[in-house]
Amino acid sequence: MKEYRYIKLRDEPILMDAAAKWFNSKWGVPEEAYLACMEDYLKGITEYGWYLCLEGDKIIAGLGVIENDFHDRKDLAPNVCAVYTEKEYRGKGIAGQLLNIVVDDMKNKGITPVYLVTDHTSFYERYGWEFLCMVQGDGEEEKTRMYIHR
């Protein structure tokens, strides 16, 4: 059985540059944007963090928490963002474990509820998320689904 290691970026800040590159390669958001958020987290300016799953030294999954994930409901914050698992590692519960870690971490910091936007219609419910409403994504024609974890 493969061994996966789940970390908060604060626990291994040396991974910041690699994480920013990895997230950029998955979502196309500029590395600088990820680095700015990650630096604020590492400096304690925000408690909105970044979480990774590693196999050895390889990042195989990750997600972050930011104020707003590019949508019109600025009152629904913070948002889990950039949820991604490498294709060959999907279906193994890795994203679910990361989601549980982030929800627990935010609750331990007194940050609840948390939100996320997605086009998925059944994945997040497995991990205690509830559909909340539809939101308008920045520059998007169609509305997208907003979920909440209380």
Of 5, 83, 14, which is closest to residue 42 (Cα–Cα)? 14
Enclosing H/E stretch for 115: strand 114-118
Average pLDDT over residues 124-145: 93
Instruction: Please check whether residue 7 is in contact with residue 16, taking contact to mean a CB–CB distance below 8 angstroms.
Output: no
pTM over the 0.85 mark: yes
Average pLDDT over residues 106-128: 94
Considering the chain, what percentage of its residues have pLDDT values greater than 70? 99
Of 30, 23, 16, 48, which is closest to residue 116 (Cα–Cα)? 48
Residue the block writes with tokens 């279906």: 91
Show the domains of the chain with their CATH numbers: 5-111 (3.40.630.30)
* The token pair that represents 69 in the structure block: 């994930």
DSSP label at 71? B
Asked if pLDDT for residue 1 goes beyond 80, the answer is no
